[in-house]
Structure 1
């Protein structure tokens, strides 16, 4: 009985911690999105940025307008959802059913090819994620992605849709949630398929940064790799253009 109470108390604390972290993250991203970008752009127009800031290669890359970046770096946080991929993205996205597990991911995106006649970029993304809560493993992922760059409202909020279908994910240990799905006698794998649908938002086409929401999805592809093992993390983050 005491073990059950301790588990429930720990689960409640983790949920409160996640909710608090989410609010802080949303506020921070909002400040950066509506504050830093506009203030920096305006300061650049007026010529009032300090000389050391304008001459710094790091700050210069992060603040300089860049409509066609080749390399981006970013980070995001995610919370584990009980729902399936189709449930959390299409059927019931308003009912995420968050569980006591989360992740923090850092990644880089390389633009491999940019089409001239259609609004599509081909990209390669590689990332490292650290999990917290039920599991504490480290995850490595690599994925080719397609970026669609045209939406009718892009003059107001520049929006892109990114999709990766054929990625790979490797965990240093089997996540607790995925173990529960296959049961005690079920087969598990550290190596799974990695799939990501993502929307990005930025003030303009040449903005040096973008905020985004995505689903971080690992699965065995209905038995192609392994049966019944999958996880979905509802995530949000920010990334910057490097060059």
Structure 2
């Protein structure tokens, strides 16, 4: 087995253990469900989607995602929380396959205007496993792999005393600067809703 395949096998097994130990409790006692659809960018780097959204170029490819998250720690009088999230996504349009993501990260809830508009900002980092090598990633990047690094940035806004919020999410897959793959990945941005329960 090659060094890269051995590393990917180890990472895959670690991801499965992570999902079983961390995300399964979210299914049992979950605190939030997020549903969103993102559109894949054709040439823009992730930071271009943030700094120059008007110049973003997109392809006819989308990912519909359902996610369950579980908060496992709160700090700073509840302003900062840490959570794990498991996602199931379906890619449609120019490519058709499933995507499974497991991630964890911080969520910030204390903004000066939160008593008028409840606002949250989150960053999630983990792994993404596609059911097949994504055709579009190969077309855009020259190559790709099923297992890649995953991260997301989310902004959420909703009524202060309601359990739901509208979310804007940047959804990213990449090789992690050669850690899991030399090429491949994608950037996508979209809207959805997050519901606490």
Q: Same fold (TM over 0.5)?
A: yes
Higher alpha-carbon Rg: 1
CA distances 1:68-96 after superposition (whole Å, capped 9, x unpaired)? x9611121111111211111122x12222
Could you tell me whether the CA contact under 8 Å between 2:134 and 2:145 is conserved in 1? no
| Alignment of 1:198 onto 2:148 | no
Q: What residue number does 2:37 align with?
A: 77
Cα RMSD for the two superposed structures: 1.6
Q: Distance in 2 between matches of 1:181 and 1:208?
A: 39
| Alignment of 1:216 onto 2:171 | yes
CA distances 1:180-224 after superposition (whole Å, capped 9, x unpaired)? 1343xx4x31000001011000110x3211110011100001212
Q: Distance in 1 between matches of 2:47 and 2:131?
A: 27
Q: Distance in 1 between matches of 2:54 and 2:112?
A: 25
SS in structure 1 at match of 2:54: coil
Work out the number of aligned pairs and report it.
Answer: 168
Q: What residue number does 1:207 align with?
A: 162
CA distances 1:96-127 after superposition (whole Å, capped 9, x unpaired)? 21111011110101011111446100011111
TM-score, normalised via structure 2 length: 0.80
Q: Distance in 2 between matches of 1:209 and 1:182?
A: 36
Q: What residue number does 1:175 align with?
A: 134
Could you list the runs of 5+ residues in structure 2 that have no partner in the other structure?
A: 1-28
| Alignment of 1:161 onto 2:124 | no
Runs of 4+ in 1 over 4 A off after TM superposition: none
Write 1 or 2 for the structure with the bigger share of strand: 2
SS in structure 2 at match of 1:235: strand
Equivalence map 1:1-243=2 (5 Å): 71-82=31-42, 83-90=44-51, 92-117=52-77, 119-164=79-124, 166-183=125-142, 186=143, 188-204=144-160, 206-242=161-197
Q: Check 1:70–1:138 CA distance in 2 against 1; reply closer, same or farther (3 A cut).
A: closer
CA distances 1:138-175 after superposition (whole Å, capped 9, x unpaired)? 000010021011122212211110011x3100000111
Q: Distance in 1 between matches of 2:140 and 2:58?
A: 16
SS in structure 1 at match of 2:137: helix
Q: Distance in 1 between matches of 2:38 and 2:86?
A: 17
Q: Distance in 2 between matches of 1:98 and 1:137?
A: 19
Write 1 or 2 for the structure with the bigger share of helix: 1
TM-score, normalised via structure 1 length: 0.66
